[in-house]
Amino acid sequence: MAFPEYANIIIDISHEKVDRLFQYRIPKTMLGKVEVGASVDVPFGRGNTRRKGYVIELCEEPDIDASRIKELFGLSEGMESAEDISIRLAAWMKRYYGSTMIAALKTVIPVCKKQNRQVHKFVSMRLAGDEATAAYHESIRKKQKARERILKELLDNEGERLPYELITSKLSVTAQTLKSMENAGIIRIEQEEYFRNPVAATTGRYSDKVLSPEQQNIVDTVSRDFDAGKRDTYLIHGITGSGKTEVYIALIDEMIKRGRQAIVLIPEIALTYQTLMRFYRHFGERVSVMNSSLSPGEKYDQMERAKSGDIDIIIGPRSALFTPFPNTGIIIIDEEHESTYKSENSPRYHARETAIELARLVPGGAAVVLGSATPSLEAYYRAQRGEYHLFELNRRLTGGTLPTVETADLRQELKSGNRSIFSRRLQELMEDRLGKGEQAMLFINRRGLAGFISCRSCGHVFKCPHCDVSLSEHRGGRLICHYCGHEERRPSLCPECGSKYVSSFRAGTEQIEDEVRKMWPAARVIRMDADTTRTKGSYDRILSAFANKEADVLVGTQMIVKGHDFPDVTLVGILAADMSLYASDFHASERTFQLLTQAAGRAGRGDKPGNVVIQSYQPEHYSIQAAVRQDYKGFYEEEIAYRDLLRYPPISHMMCVQIQSRTEEDGMEYGNRLRAVMEQQRVREAVFIGPALAPIARINDIFRLAIYVKLDDYDMLVRLKDICEKYIKQLEDMGKMRGVTVQFDFDPMRG
């Protein structure tokens, strides 16, 4: 059998100029040993610098003159081979989202570097019977205290192996003494390799919960489809507390019975511990975790455990999707609406679409299950069109009923003389709950604090007359639209009511924490935000302290309102709903509704009724009113009509061409060039906006601009991207792109 003699390799350099394949000859001694996905060392460039690369394909014939083809050095030491599936997924991501192939490969193969395996060492008695006793008495006679302690311990624990660390630390015996005893044939020292396990918990399977008829129907339907060879995408729309996690566990049980593995994605690390423990209590050590807080050794070991079949379930944020299970059967994405499922780095992939593609690529295919109390408009829209199978869970099974939700109009608070962060109604309920020894959560919606301007007297928000998004404040009193570039001066008086109270609302978690301590000195307050959760384990410590009632009030940002279950919380205060409502982004109303609904869902999860107070300058806004009613369908109908009117996703698709340059003038010039190149294609129904300054116009003295292209046909958007990439390469070859970089983002999650 003749083996391919040539390998097309992509070099491990994350730069567009080398985003192509280089052909190398495979040494005769390695024919048949080099596989697609293998990591190899190759001579690269004029100086034949030793570089690492990935084998993308094998060829029997050379693409160029064979005498010009260099020979690769060999397989990389200490590197893991990529799976064929990962190579295919990376190629799909490169095309679908726009990036270099090497950036896509580094995304889907997150752990390449081998780590030293951990070993446990054990000490046991080599001598038997009278010989062992004689050795012990000899150590006493010769006053060899260390040997005496070891031998006594081994004789007292006859036939057992003792941990090496126990002997060296607890018995104060040196490694040299142990080595000499081993050489003398008295003891035996053995080593066993083991995987690092980041899950520190006691094993113990709890009894299976009896599912409701609605829950059981989901499990039965997905299992029946799977057995029939149907691989579908399922959306579970379940109100907060409706028991989605129990459904996930039952579905995974079914997949494990069929010899399959499961990937469970959660939106962020803050949710890992609580979610993980619920799975761990059910599945024991067959479940593990993957997230950015793990050490390189822990990450590597979880990958190895997945490959070897040592675990069946991996739980983690977005990157856990690329765990190399040999036989994935189900991918579950909890809280699928969260924007953290969209990568902010190239390739700017979305975990939902990537999971569906991965499920198509894995051997035998896999089911994809999406779950949320507030599904993204994209997912619900597809479910309405029959692309996803929709399930509804409308009953709260975790105990309690949905809380009573009310609004506090901050305009009226100001008129009545209340300048506090807390409305009078929220103060009244805080007094009541603290007096009863119950707990409260205070949530400040800081996302979108880009400086939108409103009138604190009447609630008027300054919006772009062309794009229906709020204007953002810049230095020098300029209000700018980050979609079309519209600009106007900031007025000193409100054009609606003439009030002079025109300002941006700026309050942070620290300020709220201080205010709580001033108003309720006896209350125990803890804060959870980016500053208090920087160290490893800080999420778990804060959440555990609150769960154990070591604090009365938890103040925090979005991370406190997602998925947590505290039965003693009977009050949730949402202090600034408007902060996300008027972010300069077409997702603003959707994000606001989702956050408010998720936050409201934290109250009244035990046997005591809950209250939620939403403080806002515009409580009549449809997203706030829908959140008060906990009415997802009502919100969806109004929001999808707005998206349809303006051709925003999911009705249409959108591509954002992101340009970074050293000067605003260069960025604008190249933006206009790229827009012209795309417009020359004469794609009917394509809508072009920009180039205009991005929401954050400059970072580290690099200007950021954007062109938005709206089009129903996603494949045509990809073609426009390909045309832009080809044009950019021509400019680069002519040396005309110095100081300018371009990236592409499809259906962006942020404006």
Note the pLDDT of residue 157.
Answer: 81
Record the tokens describing residue 465, joined without a space.
């007359």
Note the pLDDT of residue 505.
Answer: 55
CATH number, span 213-393:
3.40.50.300
Note the pLDDT of residue 114.
Answer: 57
Who has greater pLDDT, 17 or 550? 550
The C-alpha atoms of residue 454 and residue 462 are separated, in whole angstroms, by 6
Asked whether the predicted pLDDT for residue 580 surpasses 90, the reply is: no
Asked whether the predicted pLDDT for residue 370 surpasses 50, the reply is: yes
- Top mean pLDDT of 153-167, 496-510, 596-610, 710-724 is at 710-724
Contact 490, 454 (CB under 8 A): no
Asked whether the predicted pLDDT for residue 636 surpasses 90, the reply is: yes
Q: What percent of the chain shows pLDDT beyond 90?
A: 36
CB atoms within 10 A of CB 311: 24
- 606: pLDDT confidence band, cut at 50, 70 and 90? low
Who has greater pLDDT, 600 or 16? 600
Asked whether the predicted pLDDT for residue 11 surpasses 90, the reply is: no
What mean pLDDT comes out for the span 176-202? 75
Contact 89, 56 (CB under 8 A): no
- 193: pLDDT confidence band, cut at 50, 70 and 90? low
- 14: pLDDT confidence band, cut at 50, 70 and 90? low
What mean pLDDT comes out for the span 143-159? 85
Note the pLDDT of residue 660.
Answer: 92
- 226: pLDDT confidence band, cut at 50, 70 and 90? very high
- 203: pLDDT confidence band, cut at 50, 70 and 90? very low
The C-alpha atoms of residue 387 and residue 428 are separated, in whole angstroms, by 48
393-448 pLDDT, tens digit per residue, is 988 775 556 788 899 998 898 889 888 889 999 999 999 999 999 999 998 865 33
pLDDT-wise least confident of 51-65, 274-288, 437-451, 533-547: 437-451
Record the tokens describing residue 69, joined without a space.
């083809």
Residue 488 burial by Cβ neighbours in a 10 Å radius (0-12, 13-18, 19+) = middle
Note the pLDDT of residue 172.
Answer: 76
What mean pLDDT comes out for the span 745-750? 84
Asked whether the predicted pLDDT for residue 451 surpasses 70, the reply is: no
Asked whether the predicted pLDDT for residue 461 surpasses 80, the reply is: yes
Note the pLDDT of residue 329.
Answer: 96
55-75 pLDDT, tens digit per residue, is 888 888 888 888 889 999 998
What mean pLDDT comes out for the span 234-245? 88
CA angle 335, 340, 346 (to 5 degrees): 140
660: left (phi over 0), alpha (psi -120 to 50) or beta: beta
Tell which CATH classification among 3.30.1490.20, 3.30.70.360, 3.80.10.10, 3.20.20.70 matches the domain 653-746. Answer: 3.30.70.360
- 117: pLDDT confidence band, cut at 50, 70 and 90? low
CATH architecture of the domain 404-449+506-642 equals 3-Layer(aba) Sandwich (3.40)
What mean pLDDT comes out for the span 509-523? 87
pLDDT-wise least confident of 81-95, 218-232, 303-317, 351-365: 81-95
Side chain identity at 328, as an amino acid letter? T
When the pLDDT of each residue in the chain is averaged and rounded to a whole number, the result is 84
Asked whether the predicted pLDDT for residue 84 surpasses 70, the reply is: no
Asked whether the predicted pLDDT for residue 344 surpasses 60, the reply is: yes
Contact 9, 23 (CB under 8 A): yes
What mean pLDDT comes out for the span 679-702? 85
Who has greater pLDDT, 333 or 291? 333
β-partners of residue 480 are 472, 487
What is the domain partition of the chain in residue ranges? 6-108, 118-194, 213-393, 404-449+506-642, 653-746
- 204: pLDDT confidence band, cut at 50, 70 and 90? very low
- Quick one: which of 658, 743, 645, 639 has its CA closest to 703? 658
Q: What percent of the chain shows pLDDT beyond 70?
A: 86
What mean pLDDT comes out for the span 160-172? 76
Question: Which CATH class for the 6-108 domain?
Answer: alpha beta
Note the pLDDT of residue 665.
Answer: 92
Three-class DSSP labels, 254-320: HHHHCCCEEEEECCCHHHHHHHHHHHHHHHHHHEEECCCCCCHHHHHHHHHHHHHCCCCEEEECHHH
The C-alpha atoms of residue 461 and residue 400 are separated, in whole angstroms, by 38
Note the pLDDT of residue 742.
Answer: 92
- 449: pLDDT confidence band, cut at 50, 70 and 90? very low
Cis peptide before 567 (omega within 30 of 0): no
Who has greater pLDDT, 434 or 109? 434
Note the pLDDT of residue 523.
Answer: 92
- 383: pLDDT confidence band, cut at 50, 70 and 90? very high
Are 213-393 and 404-449+506-642 the same fold in CATH? yes
Note the pLDDT of residue 475.
Answer: 65
Cis peptide before 650 (omega within 30 of 0): yes
